[in-house]
Amino acid sequence: MNPYPLLFRLLFQRMDPERAHHLAFGWIRLVARVPVLRTLVAAVLAPRYKELRTEALGLRMHGPFGLAAGFDKNAMAIDGMTMLGFDHVEIGTVTGHAQPGNPRKRLFRLVGDRALINRMGFNNEGSAAVAARLAARRPAFRATVGVNIGKTKVVPESEAIADYVTSTERLASHADYLVVNVSSPNTPGLRDLQAVEHLRPLLTAVREAADRTVTTRRVPLLVKIAPDLADEDINAVADLAVELGLDGIIATNTTIARDGLGLTSDPALVAETGGLSGAPVKERSLAVLRRLYGRVGDRVTLVGVGGIEDADDAWERILAGATLIQGYSAFIYQGPLWCRTLHKGLAARLAASPYTTLADAVGAETKEQAA
């Protein structure tokens, strides 16, 4: 029996969402600091399935399922999230300068829709502070750590590339992979950087900065895109990724769309500005992933995120072309048993499939249609 739904209804649902986040975040960090406790919790919540082992971006992971950026903005709970079963942890979004983010209230639960709306605005301590924390970190568990970087709000668009480069120079040596975030709706002008004429010089500059900062290995570079891009723009990003030799694309970030998503929450709540995540973005995120895989095939690693709630969703993303998958919003509603349940279900689906490994299943749906 999972006691979390009752705890959510009696405690977290009655609290301001951001306050509830900090409370839960604090508990996770506290448990992870105690060796005996974290070992016990990991044994219960993070059993590893040999058949789910994944190789992606030149990295070996226990499985394909990771924590999306946004939950741990300042690299404070990597061990805690690994303890709960996430196969990789993407921290951030981190900006060149520290910033408080947008005024509160800025996080909203749409409980009936199993969704969130946020307009956090990249609140974080800045890349210098996060780099120092990563440098001082002494891992309790083997973990794959992605670092998601974005633009500082006060930096003008004309200086955006320099801002990303600053963060890259500080953080690349501490990252198993880097993500250029140009798709959050909560920083003015940020999404304009998804246009290929802006994205090409940005990704080129970040790649060059990573290469001159880290000379002993090649840090994989990915870009995270919005679900709201038109199909022709998705194609353009896919083609650019192949052209530049980009390592991966994360599909997708939150959406600014509201119409056509079947939302049932209070209209005033639905009308809050910010990015919508969770179950309502599932179909569009899946459609973007399918389009990307149809364009790039196995030449670029794809990461599926957006509306993933259970093993069925995860399996569907893999068949659609995702080598890695990520989640965040469903963790708020399903709690600490989420990873355990999803991994168990994913292993069962693989066992019942005609595929020997997850790698065999990646993109199988598209390949079958093409055949």
Residue ranges of the binding site for FMN: 69-73, 93, 148, 181, 224, 252, 278, 307, 328-329
What is the per-residue DSSP string for 202-259?
HHHHHHHHHHHH--SSPPPEEEEE-TTS-HHHHHHHHHHHHHHT--EEEE---B---T
Q: Which SS3 state, helix, strand or coil, does residue 58 take?
A: coil
Alpha-carbon span 198 to 200, nearest angstrom: 6
Cβ atoms 277, 258 nearer than 8 A: no
Instruction: Give the full edge-to-edge strand order of the sheet including 275-278.
Output: 107-110, 115-118, 275-278
61 beta partners: 54
Kindly name the residue from 184, 265, 277, 285 that is annotated as catalytic: 184
Q: Is 141 helix (H, G, I), strand (E, B) or coil?
A: coil
CB atoms within 10 A of CB 60: 11
Please give the torsion angle defined by the CA atoms of residues 75, 135, 93 and 248, in that order, rounded to the nearest 10 degrees: -110
Dihedral (CA of 327, 328, 329, 330) sign: positive
Residue appearing with tokens 């998804």: 194
Whether 184 is catalytic is yes
Beta-bridge partners for 150: 95
Distance from C-alpha of 179 to C-alpha of 8, rounded to nearest angstrom? 32
Show binding-site residues.
69-73, 93, 118-122, 148, 181, 186, 224, 252-254, 278, 307, 328-329
For residue 277, which of 257, 260, 292 has the smallest C-alpha distance? 257
Distance from C-alpha of 318 to C-alpha of 328, rounded to nearest angstrom: 18
User: Measuring CA to CA, which residue among 316, 229, 309 is closest to residue 277?
Assistant: 309
User: Is 98 in contact with 124 (CB distance < 8 Å)?
Assistant: yes
* Amino acid in position 260: G
Q: Is the peptide bond preceding residue 73 cis, with omega within 30 degrees of 0?
A: no
How far apart, in whole angstroms, are the C-alpha atoms of residue 10 and residue 112? 16
Cβ(277)–Cβ(296) under 8 Å?
Answer: no
| Residues annotated catalytic, as ranges | 184
